[in-house]
Amino acid sequence: MKIDTFDLSGARASRWNLDAVIDGLRVSREAAHNIRHHGRIRELPSREALAGIVSDLSAVLFPTHYGRPNLTDESIDYFVGDTLNTTLNRLTEQVRRGLLFSAPADAAGEATLAERADDITRAFAAGLPAIRALLVSDVQAAFAGDPAATSVAEIMLCYPGTIAILYHRLAHSLHQLGAPFLARLIADIAHSLTGIDIHPGARIGASFFIDHGTGVVIGETAILGQRVRLYQAVTLGAKRFPADASGALVKGIPRHPIVEDDVVIYAGATVLGRITIGAGSTVGGNVWLTQSVPPGSNVSQAQMRHDDCAEAKPR
């Protein structure tokens, strides 16, 4: 009589010929298809931990909206202080892990990395009041710009654009302070929650409003001025991707639009390349725009002629 062997989970180990599969995966992992950073095992930042950290930072910034609605004037500072202290301790560990994947970290020891992580986290904490001020301007812009909005609380709790820009402002700060990997993870968490994809490198001025929001994409080197409004499915993207002599993409060069103050871009518009949308302009729905337009322009769909994809008319 044949007696099957069982692994720790109770499954019949011999049924699937697992020894050969495990050996093949080891060869792929260790030799043939090794994708580890510089070939070494490193501790990755935790997406789950970051989601909790950003949630707690949101509560620190807006305690009664994202924290505890029953906080009083006597208890609110204690709540903020206690939550912030705990959250920053968790954040610095995630920053340290992220720094393991940056080039200078290869020559740095563990003590140096931990010190750099503390410095970044300390500077990030110092910037939280300024981040809150920007976020308040964003919420006020949403309330002023949407006739359907009935209260600030509705905007903060129900508008995906508000959540997306909150996450972006936190991620952008970390990106600027030297923690780009961590910032990118936070941006992707926001993307998963809201359907809005904003690269943490994008520079966005005060009073920013994304109405509806689903499908909005803002690229890494985009620059947006103050009081900019976007609607759903707007793309601020790159037109082309230059390559070096070896064929590898050149990274980090300016390749996304500059959108000046008081610009409105309506649903489905695609704006590509390092072009400038002049202050006070309006870009209509479903426009495909690859050329700069002067301030005060009204850009609408027009018949295709030559290489022009849109017609810009000064107002």
Tens of pLDDT, residues 278-299: 999 999 999 999 999 999 999 9
| 230-256: average pLDDT | 89
* Residue 184 confidence (pLDDT) above 70: yes
Give the pLDDT confidence score for residue 30 in this predicted structure: 82
* Architecture field, domain 215-315: 3 Solenoid (2.160)
Alpha-helix residue ranges (DSSP H) falling in the chain: 18-27, 47-61, 76-99, 110-126, 128-145, 152-158, 160-177, 180-194
State percent of the chain over pLDDT 70.
87
Give the pLDDT confidence score for residue 14 in this predicted structure: 64
Domain ranges of the chain: 45-196, 215-315
Of 209, 197, 204, which Cα lies nearest the Cα of 148? 209
Over the chain, what is the mean pLDDT? Answer: 89
Q: Which two tokens stand for residue 149?
A: 């909005």
Assess contact for 100 and 108: CB atoms under 8 A. Answer: no
Give the pLDDT confidence score for residue 32 in this predicted structure: 80
**Rounded to an integer, what distance in angstroms lies between the CA atom of residue 203 and that of residue 224?**
6
Of 41, 72, 178, 187, which Cα lies nearest the Cα of 123? 178
Residue-wise pLDDT for 133-182, tens only, equals: 999 999 999 999 999 999 999 999 999 999 999 999 999 999 999 999 99
* Residue 265 confidence (pLDDT) above 90: yes
**Rounded to an integer, what distance in angstroms lies between the CA atom of residue 254 and that of residue 220?**
8
Assess contact for 291 and 257: CB atoms under 8 A. Answer: no
* Architecture field, domain 45-196: Orthogonal Bundle (1.10)
Give the pLDDT confidence score for residue 242 in this predicted structure: 80
* Residue 219 confidence (pLDDT) above 50: yes
Confidence (pTM): 0.86
Q: Which residues pair with 197 in a beta bridge?
A: 217
SS3 166: helix
* Residue 38 confidence (pLDDT) above 90: no
* Residue 33 confidence (pLDDT) above 80: no
Q: Which residue has the tokens 């870009």?
A: 283
Strand 282-283 vs strand 258-259: parallel, antiparallel, or unpaired? unpaired
Give the pLDDT confidence score for residue 244 in this predicted structure: 82
* Residue 211 confidence (pLDDT) above 80: yes
Assess contact for 53 and 192: CB atoms under 8 A. Answer: no
pLDDT bucket at 41, cuts 50 / 70 / 90:
low
CA angle 85, 86, 87 (to 5 degrees): 95
